[in-house]
Amino acid sequence: MEYKELENCKLCAWECGVDRLAGEQGVCLAGLPKVASCQLHPAPPQSYTIFCSSCNFRCLNCQNWEIAHYPFTQYKIKGIVNPEHVARVGVQAVNSNAGQMIGADRFFFSGGSPTVSLPWIEEVVQCAKTLDPDIKINFDTNGFPSKNSFRRIISISDSLTFDIKAYNDEVHRTLTGAPVEPVLTNVQEMARQKDQLWEFRILVIPNIVDLPEIQAITEFIVSLDETLPVSFLTFRPNFCLDTHPGASRELMEAVVTLARRTGLTNVHWAGFSGIPGVNPSIPQRIKDQFSLQNSAVAAFYAQRAGCRQIHRDCGKCSFKLTCDLKGYYPCQSR
């Protein structure tokens, strides 16, 4: 497991060029690829899911924040794991009685962002395919691999689940800390490889990623192919948005109606709706910094969690290696 390309890491769209083998860190703060956990998972696509630690986004709403922001968190991960071992255990799990009972037929690489562990994942896939040529592979992406990495991901995957966080760059940056352009470029490439798309997943967050933002996302997808599968996921309070209201059933139904009116033909919503929370009062000094109200809402939460940028850009941030936001501990977990 030498992974020489980590000496000049350009796996994701940040293309930091840091030497991860020598201990240098980019936005993801990852060194050698590390596994957080592995388990059979019944959610579609049913699979043996491998959660890779670290992430190249710093999303305010992260539901896997303990994995994504390792080692800032106290989460106990498996660590560096031999790819042959993971492949062997995973193939056995998929083909076990428990695996067959849930309908598992593939490995599902998630995180965090599995992109930062891509060379290791490629080795796992190669080993797994040697053990069982019929095993399938799903890659879960936030859309931020570099162009070269995305081609590699498509080449090893039977299916991809693809998260679209936002369409407007201002909203995407305040929510994730990253620009949206690389994501939209990869959405376009995914549309060209639509037979491998399991679904686009869009998290509906009241007053941040709500109806106006959803309309922009769906119009973009329709412009590529109205038959592309889209799943709207119901926001529940998480990480820096730990006190924010969950999406209501009414909002989720309105989102699906809007998407269909826009032209999407393969769309649904999923998740537990109506979790209570409090809509924050946004200071005028923050509102004045943004053209979109929902960006100001996201920026408020980022500031509250310790982000030292009003306009987030984690790649250029002087504090990206000592990010207070990555150390935020949600109130539900205190």
pLDDT of 224-274, one tens digit each? 999 999 999 999 999 999 999 999 999 999 999 999 999 999 999 999 999
Structure tokens at 194: 């639509």
Question: Is a pLDDT exceeding 60 seen at residue 140?
Answer: yes
Neighbours of 101 (CB within 10 A): 11
Question: Is a pLDDT exceeding 50 seen at residue 39?
Answer: yes
Radius of gyration of the chain (CA): 19
Query: Which contacts (CB < 8 Å, 24+ apart) does range 15-20 have?
Result: 15/146, 16/315
> pLDDT of 186-202, one tens digit each?
999 999 999 999 999 99
**Helix segments in the chain, DSSP class H:** 65-68, 83-94, 97-102, 118-131, 147-156, 169-176, 181-192, 211-224, 249-262, 284-287, 293-304
**Is the Cα dihedral 119, 197, 146, 239 positive or negative?**
negative
Question: Is a pLDDT exceeding 70 seen at residue 167?
Answer: yes
Task: Return the axis-axis angle of helices 293-304 and 169-176, rounded to nearest 10°.
Answer: 20
DSSP class of 34: -
> pLDDT of 77-105, one tens digit each?
999 999 999 999 999 999 999 999 999 99
Neighbours of 188 (CB within 10 A): 12
pTM, full prediction: 0.96
Average pLDDT of span 278-283? 96
> What was the pLDDT predicted at 1?
67
- Look at phi and psi of residue 263 and say left if phi exceeds 0, alpha if psi is from -120 to 50, else beta: left
Identity of the residue numbered 12: C
- Look at phi and psi of residue 192 and say left if phi exceeds 0, alpha if psi is from -120 to 50, else beta: alpha
SS3 233: strand
For the chain, the helix, strand and coil percentages under 3-state DSSP, each to the nearest 5: 40, 15, 45
- The rounded mean pLDDT for the chain is 96
Average pLDDT of span 301-315? 96
Phi, psi at 284, each rounded to 5°: -60, -35
Question: Is a pLDDT exceeding 90 seen at residue 332?
Answer: no
* CA–CA separation, 246 and 194 (whole Å): 31
> What was the pLDDT predicted at 237?
96
Task: Return the axis-axis angle of helices 249-262 and 211-224, rounded to nearest 10°.
Answer: 30
Question: Is a pLDDT exceeding 80 seen at residue 62?
Answer: yes
> What was the pLDDT predicted at 334?
41
* CA–CA separation, 127 and 125 (whole Å): 5
> In whole angstroms, what separates CA 320 from the centre of its chain?
19
Strand partners, 137: 107
Structure tokens at 201: 């997943």
Domains and CATH numbers, the chain: 28-163 (3.20.20.70), 190-316 (no CATH)
> Is there a contact between 121 and 112 (Cβ–Cβ < 8 Å)?
no
DSSP string, 156-176: H-SEEEEE---SSHHHHHHHH
Confidence of residue 75 (pLDDT cuts 50, 70, 90): confident
> What was the pLDDT predicted at 333?
53
Length of the chain: 334
- 156 Cβ contact partners less than 8 Å away, ≥ 6 residues apart: 121, 122, 125, 137, 139
Question: Is a pLDDT exceeding 80 seen at residue 282?
Answer: yes
